[in-house]
Copies of this chain bind each other. A is one copy, B any other.
Amino acid sequence: MLNLMTKQTTMCENQAIHPDAVAAAMDTLVTNDLAQNVARTFQALADPTRVRLLTSLLTVELCVCDMAYMLGTSQSAVSHQLRVLRDLKLVRARRSGRVIYYTLDDDHIRDLLQKALDHVQH
- Residues on A close to B: CB < 8 A? 10, 12-18, 21-22, 24-30, 32, 34-43, 45-52, 55-66, 68-70, 73-75, 89, 99, 106, 108-109, 111-113, 115-120
Instruction: Find out whether the CB atom of A115 lies under 8 angstroms from the CB atom of B115.
Output: yes
> How often does this chain occur in the complex, in copies?
2
Give A111's nearest chain B residue, CB to CB. Answer: B115
* Residue contact A48 to B36, C-beta cutoff 8 Å: yes
CB-based contact B21/A117 at 8 Å: no
Is B108 in contact with A115, judged by CB distance below 8 angstroms?
yes
CB-CB under 8 A from A73, the residues of chain B are 13
Given the known inter-chain contacts A38-B51, A55-B35, please indicate yes or no for A74 contacting B16, CB distance below 8 A.
Answer: no
Task: For residue A112, give the distance in angstroms from its CB to the closest CB of chain B.
Answer: 5
